[in-house]
Amino acid sequence: MTPAQMNTPTPHSSTRHPLVTQQHIDSYRAHGAVLVKGLFADHVDDIAAGIAMNMQAPGPYAAENLKPGETGRFFDDYCNWQRIPQFEQVIRNSAVAEVGADLMGSQTVQLFHDHVLVKEPGTSKATPWHQDSPYYFVEGQQTVSFWCPVDPVDEATLRCVAGSHRWARPVLPTRWLSEDTFYADESEWMPVPDPDAERMDVLEWPMAPGDAVAFDFRVLHGARGNDSAIRRRAFSVRLVGDDARYVTRPGRTSPPFPGHGMTAGDRLRADWFPILLDRRDDKSNKGSQAGSDA
Ligand SMILES: O=C(O)CCC(=O)C(=O)O
């Protein structure tokens, strides 16, 4: 067990959400990723409606991730929960914050952002292997991303490299379309590995609509193309816990959040990144936006 793990409290079984077992928590800590069956099962229609609205009216960060001549469509967009009511409703009313608190071993849970990733049938492009953390301006031992398909997925599911959240050096972030490096200075990053060629332990699960893979922001992950006959629509919710702090990067981050005004070492400002759950003193403030000193 690492010092960080020793400092991460394990929620008592009486305060854990019923979907979360000790095995989920142990797997999350050991591997950095775990499947939570049915986490969003009651919210699949809302998520699908939110994705439809998002694709009909893309936001300023929406991207098409295929080069001319590549087949299919790979659409993504993020940071839309404030303008797409279904997304906000799912984030606030599902069990995602409670399950996130249990997996992170955190008293507080703060929303970082949402992300939509859609691969239409016949999209051969794989999602490149990457860690999310280097793209973000937040770091900590307590972070979690929940990736939820609203279509059944098998081959096109998310793939996570077990244990990569404990790697000593972060992996070089790249741009998905151009494949250029994301920051000018490449020296502090390790080259992107090829987990299949290097026979790494890749975790992946066939998933039903509403299931979710929870993974640490530092986990190396990717996905195959979508060679199936059905769409692969996925919604992702990214959360941070008690120890997450704003960090500076050598360039514009993704998402960028222009004008955020934070400085290194700050907690994410709660008026932009709402606190979804606060278990300190056994007080649950689910839905609260207050308390920037959380
Ligand atoms: O949906 C995908 O293809 C990749 C998802 C991903 O990279 C993420 O949710 O961080």
> Is residue 132 within 6 Å of ligand 1 at its C-beta?
yes
Instruction: Confirm if 173 and 183 have CB atoms less than 8 A apart.
Output: yes
Ligand 1 midpoint to CA 277 (Å)? 25
- Give the C-alpha separation, 75 to 63, whole Å: 6
Which tops the pLDDT comparison, 184 or 18? 18
Which tops the pLDDT comparison, 180 or 23? 23
pLDDT, tens digit (0-9, with 9 covering 90-100), for 29-70: 999 999 999 999 999 999 999 999 999 999 999 999 999 999
* For residues 78-107, average pLDDT: 98
The encoded tokens of residue 24 equal 């989920």
- Give the C-alpha separation, 126 to 76, whole Å: 13
Which of 96, 147, 150, 205 gets mutated to test ligand 1 (max ligand atoms within 8 A of its CB)?
147
Give the residue, by CA position, lying nearest to ligand 1 atom 6.
Answer: 222
**What's the pLDDT band for 179 if we cut at 50, 70, 90?**
confident
- Output the average pLDDT for the chain: 92
Rounded to 5 degrees, φ, ψ at 108 are -115, 150
Please say if the pLDDT value at position 289 is more than 50: no
- Give the C-alpha separation, 257 to 182, whole Å: 17
Cβ burial, residue 178 (10 Å; 0-12/13-18/19+): exposed
Rounded to 5 degrees, φ, ψ at 280 are -65, 140
> Is residue 25 within 6 Å of ligand 1 at its C-beta?
no
Q: Where are the beta strands (DSSP E) in the chain?
A: 33-36, 63-64, 74-78, 108-119, 127-130, 138-139, 143-149, 158-161, 202-204, 212-215, 221-223, 232-240, 245-246, 275-278
> Is residue 234 within 6 Å of ligand 1 at its C-beta?
yes
Q: What is the pLDDT of residue 181?
A: 82
> Is residue 236 within 6 Å of ligand 1 at its C-beta?
yes
pLDDT, tens digit (0-9, with 9 covering 90-100), for 215-257: 999 999 999 999 999 999 999 999 999 999 999 998 899 999 9
- CATH architecture under which domain 29-278 falls: Sandwich (2.60)
- Give the C-alpha separation, 114 to 146, whole Å: 9
Helix axes 96-104, 22-31, angle to 10 degrees: 60
> Is residue 123 within 6 Å of ligand 1 at its C-beta?
no
pTM metric for this prediction: 0.92
Give the residue, by CA position, lying nearest to ligand 1 atom 7.
Answer: 222
Ligand 1 midpoint to CA 71 (Å)? 19
- Give the C-alpha separation, 146 to 34, whole Å: 10
Rounded to 5 degrees, φ, ψ at 7 are -85, -10
> Is residue 87 within 6 Å of ligand 1 at its C-beta?
no
Ligand 1 midpoint to CA 204 (Å)? 13
- Give the C-alpha separation, 84 to 113, whole Å: 13
> Is residue 127 within 6 Å of ligand 1 at its C-beta?
yes
- Give the C-alpha separation, 9 to 107, whole Å: 9
Please say if the pLDDT value at position 2 is more than 60: no
Rounded to 5 degrees, φ, ψ at 202 are -100, 125
Q: Which whole-number Å values give the CA distances from 238 to 45, 78, 98, 110, 176, in the listed order?
A: 20, 11, 13, 9, 19
Ligand 1 midpoint to CA 191 (Å)? 19
Give the percent of the chain with pLDDT over 70.
90
Instruction: Confirm if 51 and 233 have CB atoms less than 8 A apart.
Output: yes
- Give the C-alpha separation, 178 to 218, whole Å: 22
* For residues 117-129, average pLDDT: 97
Please say if the pLDDT value at position 7 is more than 90: no
> Is residue 233 within 6 Å of ligand 1 at its C-beta?
no
CB atoms within 10 A of CB 205: 17
> Is residue 157 within 6 Å of ligand 1 at its C-beta?
no
